[in-house]
Structure 1
Amino acid sequence: MLAEVRPSEGSGVDMGWIVRRNHEERRQSGMKLLKQFTNRVERRMKVGLAAVLTLAVAAGTGVMVAFTAGLSDTVRSQIETSLADVCDQNAKVVEYILSDRIALMERIAGQLSDMGDSSAEELVDYLRNAGYAENYGFYNMGVWEADGWGYTTGYEHLNLEGKDYLEEALAGRISMTEAQLSEDGSVYLNILTVPIWHNGVVERVLTATYRSEEFFGLMSVGFMDSQGRSLVLNSLGQAVSLPYKTMAEDFGVVRYISDYVRLDCKDCGLISFTYGGREYAAYTVALEQFNWYVMSYIPTEVVRGKGQFLQRNAMFSLGVLYLCILAVSVISIKTYKRLSRRIVTLAFTDELTQAKNYEYLRLYFRSLSPQERAGKYLVAFDVDRQKFINLLYGWETGDRILKLVVQTFVRTFPKEHIFKGSADGYCAVLDGACEGDIEEKIQRFLDAMAEATRAQGEISVSFSFGICPLDGDESLRSVYDKALLAKREAKGSVDKKYKFFGSSERKRIAQKEMEEVFDQAVKEGQFQVWYQPKFDMRTGKPCGSEALVRWKRPEGGVVAPGEFIPLLEENGRIVDLDRLVLQQVCEDLVAWEGKGLQCLPVSVNLSKIHLKKQRIVEDLWELVERSGADQSKISFEITESAMYGDVEELNRLLRRIQSLGFEVDMDDYGLGSSTLHSLAASHFDTLKLDKSFISAIGSRRIDVILDSTIQMANDLGMKVVAEGVETQEQVDFLLAHQCWVGQGYYFSKPVERCAYEAMLQNSQEHG
């Protein structure tokens, strides 16, 4: 211990040295106390760990002894319970499949009934053209007259007179056959029959043939190390579900079970039987439909073998337990590390979507050097009206949409980064040499989301995007705030749902570049006309199309229309593009007519700028007349916003165009603020309902507005076309309200000229 020194006045002792010495003593004392505390904690942990391990060994030994003593009975009881659970689960699966397929067939039968006096062959043609067999996984479909003759989608003309399932359907009852081997012996089939009612009488029968292994594919056929089997039996004991593999391995058992169930097993539950010198345990559950049973069975030797196996494992585990004591320290460390990783996961991962969250974005942003930030964009986006979706369709639907966004983004851009923000907000970091690359990626994402929502039966959703480049030395907070600001501005936009922050200067540069390359692109034929077919929703056949423009660059990329059309509208070159599209449409019509194809009407968009040209009517007529195209096959689409000016002047223009044999369509109706009065005051031939209207079908207010609009248009003698049709529910609503023509991804996406020509050829060949 240092001696205390008390210097007197004038002693010359350095007081600063004394202060430093006392500070060092306190520091060393603190370190000593900390070390002592640490040692005490470590000793207590060791003592506690030793006590816990001792108790664990004693308890483990006792548990193992007790477990081994009653293992056989316990295993047998658990296996029997599992057998019942598997059977119950399979019964629910089969009932669900049957209910779903029966409902589907009844809907199809209802549609065929509505087709009136069509023959069985015509009804089968309708089924084939509509693609029901392919779309719903049928082996084939067929329609049969009461005399037994009928046709299948596989181009067969057969007579099923005397078939039990046909007689059942003619008697007004739905039925399904047992598993039957196909004619080529390659697969087992089941036939589902549904009556086609007309005026309260069964006039025909609709059949759908399924592959047994696909129809019952969701059922757990093999379980307990593939030793167990499951099958479906009818009231006669005949096997209904009969995958080929099961037949090859267990034909005798299945046949014996069929006889046994028919004779002795009308009461459901657990049974046992012997076949071929082997004992079996089985469980049966009755189904609601068709007086069927589901049975799951397993050899009892599997139960005994599993019990013996578990007993050996239990004894082995008892020995291993003592060895594990030596590794407790290592296990503890690894457990701590796992917990740490789990904590990190919870801290940096969104619980609902499993995407990285904003905190992880901060780490990612800090890891990027200024050079690495160049060429990257921060995209902030969210689902429009997510709160409305949650209220109208429920939180479960809203959550599925949020998860689908992440899944679709990762699938579309596997090398890009997406982060989940709060509520319905997201952030993404996208690579791009220019804004056009980002716009193209956003469009790809939107297309992928549209397909994903259709494929999964979800509602259509829209998004708003705000984009800010990461280049520079700005903080993440600054870049993120700018992206959010741009997103808010995008939400207020009608025609464009994404916006770049501070993009005005870059936009002027892009416009200048666009002007420089536009003429060269036209000269080299980089602008191509694609066609999106319009379909008669009553027949499912194409009845026309809309001409759309695509810009395919020489290097192979496709420039999104949203990138070049607004720029061309601003510099006035959109008029040249309109003429180019019309010229290509005329050439295509003439070429198709020369090939003997029946040309369907094509609508061509005219921009608002084009409408202001003095000689617009004369220019359009001269171009069409010079090409030799039939003007009756051409209509011009004018957006609803063109009505915001002088309606009388617009009507005079419409009459001049119509006097030359063209038709004029009002495009995007519902996107602006036109009223039914303004619609009545116009002289359009066709009204095109905007997809924003169609996507909102199901909302009571929108349904009322659509009903009034369609009725008024029909009363005015206008044709009505629905744009953006994506679901069967929308088709049903439109048909119910006398809108016959639809256009959208439900029928076909825009296709290139050659694909559309093939569609015309196919439509003409099949009537």
Structure 2
Amino acid sequence: MTATPNPHILVVDDDPLTRMMATEALREGGFATSEAEDGVRALAAFEALHPDLVLLDVMMPGLTGFEVCRRVRATPAGELVPIIMLTGLDDSESVEQAFDAGATDFISKPINWTLLRFRIRYVLRSAQLLKELVRNKESLSSAQRIARLGSWEWFVPADEVQRSAQYYRLFGQQVDTFGEGMDSLVAHVYGPDRPMVGAALAGARKGVGYQLTYRVVWPDGSVRTLLETAERTSDSDDPQALLMEGSVQDITEQVEAQRRIRQLAYFDPLTGLPNREFFRESLLSAAARCLRNDSRCAVMVVDIDRFARINDSLGPERGDQVLQVIGHRLRERMGDRTPAEPAGGGGLPRLKVARLAADEFGILVSDAGSVEDVLATAHELLQVVQAPIHVPGQDITLSARVGVAVMPDHATEAEAILKAAETALNRAKRVTRESVALFSEEMKVAAFLRFTLEGDLRRAIGEEELQVLYQPIVDVARKAIVKAEALVRWPHLARGSVPPPEFISLAEETGMIVPLTRAVMERVCNDIAELGSALPPDFRISINLSGVNFMDAQLIPTVRAVLDGAGVPASRIEFELTETVLMRDLDYATVILAQLREMGIRVAVDDFGTGYSSLAYLRRLAVNTLKIDRSFVGELDDGQGVAIVKAVIGLAHSLGLEVVAEGVETAAQLEALRQQGCNLIQGYLFARPMSIRALAQSLACASVTLPESPAPAED
């Protein structure tokens, strides 16, 4: 199947920013696009343009996305066109309503624009397969209309059979090669189906009709599927007058269509392997069998190390080829491997392989032997993945990790055993010397260790063990540091430096993020007060607020108390929040941001472009700054992401907002941002997070030197 070049996507959304972001992202992905701002225009555009796919917002004034979807489906041209619905709603009722309206897929906001492109390619590929299935059904209907049916009449007492010419064609035979009598049919039937056909004929000799589906083998070795119906036509009860009549229809195309529909639902289209849903159902059956028979089964999860680098360096097409090779190897190993059998025998284990995620494969071993045998199987499968892969002009050698769990040793339920294997895989990823990890009590103890870390964090907050560092934000037009972001670090007394994502996520889960953030606010305000007049008049320090902080009813009183306690004006502070946090409760966010603005505190939207990116909420909320996410900045080196960065900068300027690019590490990124009019820069190209003393020294310099090359990479 050849994909349509530059598929045409109709983007329907009443929010102009969402349409702009979607259009730019799709154009970068090689798609042609058209836009419609409401349901009425969408229907007109669909009728005029006949797009290959519709990206349709649910909540629109006038006609909703559900109604537009229903009307498109009601047209002849819209029966098979894929429709992906977008919405900020995440309730199951909305999802069901979308599919009831005829939606092909359903995506909740915030939207990951990069993944959206891949999702659309997958949906287009599935739509093409569906069109082929429809064509196959139409071909079958045409065949029936021209009487692609064979018929026969059998006088049972004399075993005399009269067959139509078309009957013989359905078997790929001629009259003189088929054979005499009714039993000659059996010789042409596929071996495993012969007993079934023989039993039906035996019943027919007694006047019993039947409807039977069986397979036949043509002289060229191909296998066809036939549907045969027989009934008694003679009225007499005399066995010597028994007459049977029947018809035979070739239903191979129907059977193949059903197989392909199942293929779409339960198999990965890229590798041909079962998908996660198929694997889950197989695991449910295996778990029930284990408990019923007091046997064992094992689950392995195989993850390819740093697979993204294949796509980044060689392109997605090569990446797909590599995944296909790995899937083929695992599938082959499934059938022809002979692992060491447990003492006393036990036969070959039954293996099932599935593609669980982009670069993750699942292995189900039913009737598993000992743990040692299971681990030996895991190491052999690991070698399969690690063998060199030859693609045109390139030999690729991959490494991988395997997580293993055994039932009932580690769990007695299907979901639990899969989770245990994934937990073991995470351990294998963290411990570089282990390529294969077996789920163990040690991993169960990890929960206790996390509990211990929770106590240490509570102590660290109370004893002011946490440190606050500052990363400057530079105005390249003025060649001056105009702001800084406060970043918290934890030099653990026993463990050393704890990565921020680890202890921040722990703090959010346990509620300690509230006292932690207050401690950061107090440290920042005390540092500002200590620097006093050394700070430029308009200098501000930004502090990150998590969703837990923002939803805390004591946020505003806490901020007032901290500012008053340090004697620091609110104009020195800026809070950074992500789009996701702001969009959890837009009404609540509007009220809180208005109160912060009345106090004189500014607000920045962090990681802008990765979430909702909606013009509507930006107009409604009292925000001052947009921070371009580092993922978009990182794409500027090779010319990618320019459209989205340009769109964000243009939006910020049009709304009178500051725009800051974070994660700037190369001179090329800096130059691209300057060309688009972004002058506020944050990143290692200028400075790493530093102490308040180092920040004071940097502020004392007359101007900032614009670097021509990135700072050395961090160890």
TM class by shorter chain equals 0.3 to 0.5
Task: Determine which structure has more spread, i.e. the larger CA radius of gyration.
Answer: 1
TM-score, scaled relative to structure 1: 0.36
TM-score, scaled relative to structure 2: 0.39
